[in-house]
A = this chain, B = another copy of it.
Amino acid sequence: MERFSGERLNVTYRIRAGSEAEATARARDICYEQTIELPEDLPIPEAIRAQVVGRIEDLRPIGPTAFEVVISYAVEVVGTDLTQLLNVVFGNVSLKPGIRVEALEFPDGFLRLFRGPRFGRTGIRERLDVWDRPLLCTALKPMGLSPQEMAELAYEMARAGVDLIKDDHGIADPPFCPFRERVPRCIEAVERANRETGRRSIYMPNVTAPADEVLERAEWARRMGAGGLLLSPGLTGLDTLRALAEEDAVALPLMAHPAFLGSFLVDPESGIAPGVLLGQLMRLAGADATIFPNYGGRFAFSREACRAITEATARPMGSFRPIFPVPAGGMSLDRIPEMVATYGTEAIFLIGGALLRERHRLAAVVRDLHRAMVEAMRGPGGQ
């Protein structure tokens, strides 16, 4: 076979193993399983063994029964698209317990195949024209509201000064709140509030939909005047996010929701590390903002996981723009300084139920949140 370019993707795996010999055997198994899928002892052409099979670059113990191993794959094996990337990184070995993807290191040539986030942090701030604090986001809920009621709530949120107003991720196109009725109403409501406040809040409808309808809904929402879009790539496939991000007829800020991805994330010994899945991969696919469960909320995410995601949203990565981390849940006025200390000021804080609880005095609550955020930004935790 022809010679490969030599460019390689590095994947760091955490492997459960009781000894270095066992760890090495498991690492070799990954090298074969993720590429040629044949037992090591089967005779194959030498060029394939040398170029196609994954290669162990590093292996070291990180605990009594855990090893960290770096395996590299030729970019020719990784291919040119996200589905094949996911397959080489974790396709078959996802079925083997005790293997977790801890880090990805892309060669520049691979990154250049992707458009990446179209807006990123700066693009979203430009749209909103808010520069002096973290951004505030809320979700329109509960499911069960009519389009008219959703629009009323959107109006109140925008009127109070919430920057980004998104559909609850559970509301796609239910019979009691159809997408094509809800979206124009919410857009109109937010625009009306903007005219009154002079702000530029945006409404982000949920375009999670059947495979053949996502782009259509997104383009339609854009034509109607939506200011951004929400998608759950765990439900649609990660590459649908990439297709959405690359489509010039859409060209709206994209916020990714982690629904259905939890099984990759909840076991510290298996799956994919949060920083990789919700940070690097969402950014690679073109998300401008990535939602994840805030630590100390109703999901069991650690502060370290939240920090790792945040770090991945801004780490140097080809020519990709930094994107917003969007911690969700467990946020209240008195936690703002802590949130800013954890996430920095380049974050979007997603507050749902806690704002709804204060609906009768929303303007005052949001004003206090804004003020606390501005102060935290100026303070020692800020920038």
Give me the interface of A with B, judged by CB distance under 8 Å. Answer: 1-2, 29, 33-39, 42, 44-45, 47-48, 51-52, 76-77, 79-84, 86-88, 90-97, 139, 141-146, 168-170, 172-176, 208-212, 232, 234-237, 239-240, 242-243, 258-267, 270-272, 293, 298-301, 352-353, 356-357
Contacts and interface: CB of A to CB of B under 8 A. Distances in A.
Closest 10 CB pairs of A and B: A237-B237, A94-B262, A36-B142, A95-B262, A48-B144, A91-B259, A52-B144, A83-B235, A211-B239, A97-B266
Contacts of A258: 95
B52 A143 contact: yes
Nearest to A39: B353
Contacts of A235: 83-84, 86-87, 91, 237, 239
A77 B242 contact: no
10 contacts: A42-B357, A44-B142, A48-B143, A90-B260, A91-B260, A95-B301, A97-B266, A211-B237, A235-B239, A237-B240
Given A172-B83, A239-B236, A144 B37 contact: no
Contacts of A352: 37-38
Nearest to A261: B94
Contacts of A37: 139, 141-143, 168, 170, 352-353
A163 B76 CA distance: 31
Nearest to A264: B263
Contacts of A173: 79-81, 84
- How many copies of this chain? 2
Nearest to A177: B1
B91 A170 contact: yes
Contacts of A145: 48
A144 B174 CA distance: 47
Contacts of A264: 263
Contact of A142 (B38, B84, B144): B38
Contact of A172 (B79, B141, B243, B260): B79
Nearest to A41: B357
Among A34, A36, A83, chain B packs the most CB atoms within 10 A around the CB of A83
